[in-house]
Amino acid sequence: MTRIVVTGAAGFIGSNIIAGLNARGLDDIIAVDDLKQGDKFRNLADLKIADYVDADVFYDAFSAGHYGQIEAVFHEGACSDTMETDGKYMMSNNYTLSWNLFQACQKRGARLLYASSAATYGGSETFKEEPAYELPLNVYGYSKLLFDQRMRRECGNDFQRTKAGKTHQVVGFRYFNVYGPREQHKGRMASVAFHQFNQFKSEGRVKLFGEYGGYAGGGQMRDFVFIDDVVAINLWFFDHPSESGIFNLGSGNAQPFNDVASSVVNAMRSLQGETALPLAEIAQQGLIEYVPFPDALRGKYQCYTQADLTRLRAVGCDHRFADVQTGVTQYVKWLATKS
């Protein structure tokens, strides 16, 4: 039986990966997390796992071979708060721990599929997996970039695993703006779609940042990627163990925050039996409120992101991603069933 480890298992992406594995009939899964935030248990309650191990215990025990033969580790555990300013904490969680895990995976013959981030690009206007475009704006982005750089050093810049002894798959996924079910525990770091669902439910309108960075209110553009697509790409690489490298994981299509807002509003209206409205009318009716851009984010905010999928396509992955209107509508319907 294939034994798999998922770190950050009770988190947003980790729990969805377990759900995807379960859908394939795979349940010999060791779930690793830290449940100090107890409500995160809800993300595991409907899933099938073989064991739960606290993060403080797992890493040393895994390195020592305590869990037997592991086929692959999906490493989603990290501090993902882009507003965190404690660099010592961030580097320990996102770099040092990941480096130790990589060494343990190589020692134990396990494949490593890990979470990187589009925050590695930071102030760049080009989103290719190349050092020239990697300009992180915060210590979170740097912690992710440093581990990517270490993997290039250990595995070879092209990740062809040409160095002696480095024979096991290593894949880093540069997640763009992921949204979807099982992110409710993330607080301020949850997606804009999640927050807007709750805003519309409680206030009858949604909120967006106003003008900033040369963009009109709600006009800043991001590559929003639905969680189902993120899981699909993770599992594609799980199915193709010969493919290694650092890959963008976004839809490949930048859309304005206004698209998210109008999708949330219209999905909510549909649930209430009301017809869809164009953005101009949504704004005119006050269903979108544009709020001043916060000073705390000035100079640290990506106004535009769009994943370059050239490298992903080059290895043969032809998965087609949902657009915002499709993904957000599906997500809002899911959220409505949980309210």
Q: Give the annotated binding-site residues.
A: 12-13, 33-34, 40, 76-80, 93, 144, 177-178, 186, 188, 195, 209-212, 222, 301
| Terminal C-alpha separation, the chain | 38
Is residue 186 part of the annotated active site? The answer reads: yes
Q: Which of 48, 128, 166, 186 is catalytic?
A: 186
Cβ count within 10 A of residue 167: 9
Q: Which residues are annotated as a binding site for substrate?
A: 177, 188, 195, 209-212, 222, 301
Task: Please list, in sequence order, all residues whose beta carbon lies within 8 angstroms of the beta carbon of residue 5, skipping any fewer than 6 positions away.
Answer: 29, 30, 32, 58, 62, 67, 70, 72, 73, 74, 110
Q: Which of 59, 114, 121, 140 is catalytic?
A: 140
3-state secondary structure the chain: CCCEEEECCCCHHHHHHHHHHHHCCCCCEEEEECCCCHHHHHHCCCCCCCEEEEHHHHHHHHHCCCCCCCCEEEECCCCCCCCCCCHHHHHHHHHHHHHHHHHHHHHHCCEEEEEEEHHHCECCCCCCCCHHHCECCCHHHHHHHHHHHHHHHHHCCCCCCCCCCCCCCEEEEEECEEECCCCHHHHHHCCHHHHHHHHHHHHCCEEEECCECCECCCCCEECEEEHHHHHHHHHHHHHCCCCCEEEEECCCCCEEHHHHHHHHHHHHHHHCCCCCCCHHHHHHCCCEEEECCCHHHCCCCCCECCCCCHHHHHCCCCCCCCCHHHHHHHHHHHHHHHC
Is residue 133 part of the annotated active site? The answer reads: no
Q: Which residues are annotated as a binding site for NADP(+)?
A: 12-13, 33-34, 40, 76-80, 93, 144, 178, 186
CA angle 156, 78, 209 (to 5 degrees): 110
Residues with active-site annotation:
140, 186
